[in-house]
Chain A
Amino acid sequence: MNTPRKAVALISGGLDSMLAAKVILDQGVHVEGINFFTGFCVEGHTHAIRNQDRKKPKRNNALWVAEQLGIKLHIVDVIEQYKDVVINPKHGYGANLNPCLDCKGFMVRKANEWVNAHGFDFIITGEVIGQRPMSQRRDTMPVIAQESGAEDRLLRPLCAKLLPETLPEREAWVDRDALYDFNGRSRKPQIALAKQFGIEDYAQPAGGCCFLTDEKYSDKLRDLWATQGEKRYEIDDIMLLKVGRHLRPRPNFKLIIGRDSGENNYLKGYRHRFTYMYGTSHNGPLVLIEGQTSDSDLELAARITARFGQGRDADNVHIDVVEQTGSPRHFEVTPLTSNEMQEAWYI
């Protein structure tokens, strides 16, 4: 090999993509990482919002992986372009609103554009055949390669031996014999390989790499689309779905209720866009109201707000309500009792 070939590795922050990059790095290829920020990534923000998470050491796992491997990492904001993937997935959704197959195709396509723009030679992903029910199956692997336009410049080092030869293997930029044949849902081969590389402290995302695999989150996104009457979102919408309790006591409005001071602080940043309310006689949450509300709606919202504050057992709780226009209003309400709170309101 003369000048080393150059590969870009999709780095999610999880173990598989880390291993895939490491395998190719160890073959003498120049590897740089790329990470896409879709707005739904589990990474980052929620750590910063909730109190309980603040105690945990905060780290961006993709950056951490790059640092461990000693490679550069390019983080790309794809929020706008990703909307079409979530709203119109050609291959549909998985168990929740996760459009994994379209998502993988999108990310590899973006990586391919990056490769072309930066004079790199090929793309690496940490995909493993059979690892995930939708996007990582033997029959979907070629779909991703084709639809992304990457074709045989896409190498999956962890299962390459089970797939047709790709360009980097054919051209002997990498040694196919030193690649792997991982297959199926078991994590054992990855854990063994991590051990072999001396990698111990890696992130283990439970469901997947993004909020769209989360059932509760998907319910909230569906609710957003249903009330808007169409599938669309802005970044602020999807951020707010990650924060607080979301309750819809009547079809025309929803409450977003901060669960702790961290969330209340975060919600404060959105006060200019919503009607909001908070207790003045007792401590309690900041609550944003989304939707058009009548006086009777606001009174119900105030009673719910009181229910989530320290005055939940008091006879009378004072709530200030600030609407987008007009002067602040003052309500004195009896908190809803637990019997009056309805399970069906929780989104």
Chain B
Amino acid sequence: MSHHMLDATNLLCPMPVIRTQDRVAELEPGDILEVHCTDPGALHDIPAWCRVNGHHVVDTQQADNKIIVTLRVGS
């Protein structure tokens, strides 16, 4: 189980979701991915993408214009 980061700042939806999806495809079940974004749409879209595809949102944070969604890769 390992911890990873993805920089999706300055990308507009749905690009942060697409980048998350492509990154998760390279990870193992149980791995943690921290996605950094600036488009507030990501706060909805990344969790929705996780629900649909069987991954788990561990945490979401929003401060200033920065959003961090942390997810655990499902099996």
Residue of A nearest to B21 (CB): A75
B63 within 8 A of A: no
Complex CA distance for A66 and B21, rounded to whole angstroms: 15
B12 to chain A: which residues have CB within 8 Å?
44-45, 48-49, 239
Whether B17 lies near A75 (C-beta < 8 A) is yes
Residue of B nearest to A69 (CB): B52
Whether B14 lies near A60 (C-beta < 8 A) is yes
Given the known inter-chain contacts A72-B53, A73-B52, please indicate yes or no for A54 contacting B40, CB distance below 8 A. Answer: yes
Number of A-B residue pairs, CB cutoff 8 Å, is: 66
A229 within 8 A of B: no
Mostly, the A contact residues are mixed
B58 within 8 A of A: no
Given the known inter-chain contacts A45-B12, A48-B41, A72-B53, please indicate yes or no for A64 contacting B48, CB distance below 8 A. Answer: yes
A47 within 8 A of B: yes
Chain A 58-79 per-residue mask, 1 if CB under 8 angstroms from chain B, else 0: 1110011011000111111100
A269 within 8 A of B: yes
> Which of the residues A54, A58, A73, A76 comes within 8 Å of B49, measured between beta carbons?
A73
B10 to chain A: which residues have CB within 8 Å?
269
Chain B stretch 33-71: residues in CB contact (< 8 A) with chain A: 39-41, 44-45, 48-49, 51-54
Complex CA distance for A251 and B10, rounded to whole angstroms: 31
Residue of B nearest to A46 (CB): B12
Whether B41 lies near A58 (C-beta < 8 A) is yes
B49 to chain A: which residues have CB within 8 Å?
63, 73, 75
B6 within 8 A of A: no
Chain B stretch 2-16: residues in CB contact (< 8 A) with chain A: 10, 12-15
Complex CA distance for A75 and B12, rounded to whole angstroms: 14
Complex CA distance for A37 and B21, rounded to whole angstroms: 13
A48 to chain B: which residues have CB within 8 Å?
12-13, 39-41
Whether B17 lies near A59 (C-beta < 8 A) is no
Complex CA distance for A3 and B13, rounded to whole angstroms: 36
A121 to chain B: which residues have CB within 8 Å?
none
A299 to chain B: which residues have CB within 8 Å?
none
What 6 A-B pairs come out closest when comparing CB atoms? A45-B12, A44-B13, A63-B48, A66-B52, A60-B45, A48-B41
8 of the cross-chain contacts (CB-CB < 8 Å) are A44-B13, A44-B41, A47-B13, A54-B40, A60-B41, A63-B48, A71-B52, A76-B18
